Structure 1
Amino acid sequence: MSKIICRCEEITEDEIIKAIKDGATTVDEIKKFTRAGMGLCQGRTCRRTVEKILANELNIKVEDVRTSSYRAPVRPVKMHVLEEEDVK
């Protein structure tokens, strides 16, 4: 049984390795193939592990696959926070 790498999307290490064997060569391509890093945390918990797996499978340094940017997680905001104050 393969361990889960992306908890938000329940993507396993085997699924990530399969995506790489199917042609994914960047973290963005792994996202497109598997949805790893596209869940609620936006890759905050799994991004580094996905980079390590990619580097291992391609036999290159982790620094060569590191992504420089990623989207911050979305947080729910209560509607009353967005309301304008009553001007009296």
Structure 2
Amino acid sequence: MAKANVICRCEEIEIDEIRKWIAAGCTDFEELKRILRVSMGPCQGRGCRDIILREIAKATGKPVAELRISTIRPPVKPIKTMLLAEED
């Protein structure tokens, strides 16, 4: 069965699941990241982070600018593993 309203495509997390955890009190992006694995796929949150931050802001009444944002880990841009293994 195909999922509807997938926000984090890498981990296939739907908006309803994200909203459920936010309503349960998980209003920190890092906390959601650890529970749901959002933004831990190959895109490093480039597709879902802004949407999730807006949902947290809406639920808490805080501006997105005041929310703690997760750190993007290197490589900042996805690269092929083969390039890392090449010799000069």
TM-score range, shorter chain: 0.7 to 0.9
- Give the TM-score normalised by the residue count of structure 2: 0.78
Q: How many residues get paired?
A: 84
Q: Which runs of 4+ in 1 moved over 3 A?
A: none
Structure 2 counterpart SS, 1:28: helix
Pairing partner for 2:82 from 57, 66, 78: 78
Deviation by residue 1:42-69 (Cα, 9 ceiling, x = unmatched): 1011111110011011121111115163
Q: Distance in 2 between matches of 1:39 and 1:75?
A: 13
Identity of aligned residues (%): 37
Indicate how the Cα distance of structure 1 residues 16 and 40 shifts in structure 2: closer, same or farther if over 3 A, else same: same
1:39 counterpart residue number: 41
**Structure 2 residue runs without a partner (length 5+):** none
User: Normalising to structure 1: TM-score of the pair?
Assistant: 0.78
Greater Rg, structure 1 or structure 2?
A: 1
